Amino acid sequence: MPLRVIFMGTPDFSVPILRAVAGAGHEIVAVYTQPPRAAGRRGLELTPSPVQREAERLGLEVRTPISLKGEAEQRAFAALQADAAVVVAYGLLLPKAVLEATRLGCLNGHASLLPRWRGAAPIQRAIMAGDAETGMMVMKMEEGLDTGPVAMVEKCAIAPDMTAGELHDRLMGMGASLMVEALTRLGINCLTFALQATEGVTYARKIDKSETRVDWTRPSGEVHNHIRGLSPFPGAWCEVDIGGRIERLKLLRSTLFDGVGESGGILDDRLTVACGAGAVRLVEVQRAGGKPAAAQEFLRGAKIEKGMKLK
């Protein structure tokens, strides 16, 4: 049975789910997304969110409130008389009045196996922690941070060299089909919910730029997970001397490799770097102001030799 749905989301991750919900025949009565942000080199251009661009392409009403805490915004939300809200990486807290304003509640698409990795950065944190598995979940929202009961789960293996960007794209597709199925079941009153476990709760705090620099004294497994967990954005990085000039080098892809040496030391001519224990081989890097490049391509333009050190 088609439902009257409010969609709430902001980044690229949310777009396929918006598209899938619209394609499934539900009536999307409004799309809520973050306001346009300053962009461009000078920060003078206002750029709409990916969700806003897709909603406008679909001919849907778009709303971009700065907050939903005010009574006027809450009344406007309730006046839509929606059956349900679908929330995917929206970026604003939903007050109790909003959570209770729809007939069937708010469904949230979350990219982890709750209660592990509640919060803002579940994809990055899962890889940085070395998790072998994650998934998408559809849950019913409540006032706590990602604490609501879970309706649907689809699991996904995390390959040893998978980056956050690759996992993001995999889960994005899974989330679209999962949410459509959840709405189908909700519409015929057969969507059931189970409480989250009370054990195994972890929090995926937002990635801070201060934690992105690589610490070569850590074991190779941790360094490798750090690199792939922050790729492509915001990107793990280190400093390297290129022709007598210290440059910041973004590390986009790596693989574990056997090797022993001083932490941060270059072990060969293929960009293998010693860690506190073991080594990693850098597979893809990016110089400041440059484009991503395979390691061998980078080495053709930068004289990085065995015995040099990354910092």
Specify binding-site residues: 112-115
DSSP state letter for 266:
B
Structure tokens at 264: 């941060």
What is the rounded CA–CA span in Å between residue 273 and residue 81? 58
Q: Which residues contact 286 (CB under 8 A, 6 or more apart)?
A: 235, 249, 250, 252, 292, 293
Known binding residues for (6S)-5,6,7,8-tetrahydrofolate: 112-115
* Gap between the Cα atoms of 264 and 240, Å rounded: 10
For residue 125 the two structure tokens come to 């944190």
Of 188, 154, 149, 163, residue with least CA distance to 255:
163
CA nearest neighbour of 19 among 48, 52, 54, 64? 54
d(CA 150, CA 62): 28
Chain length of the chain: 311
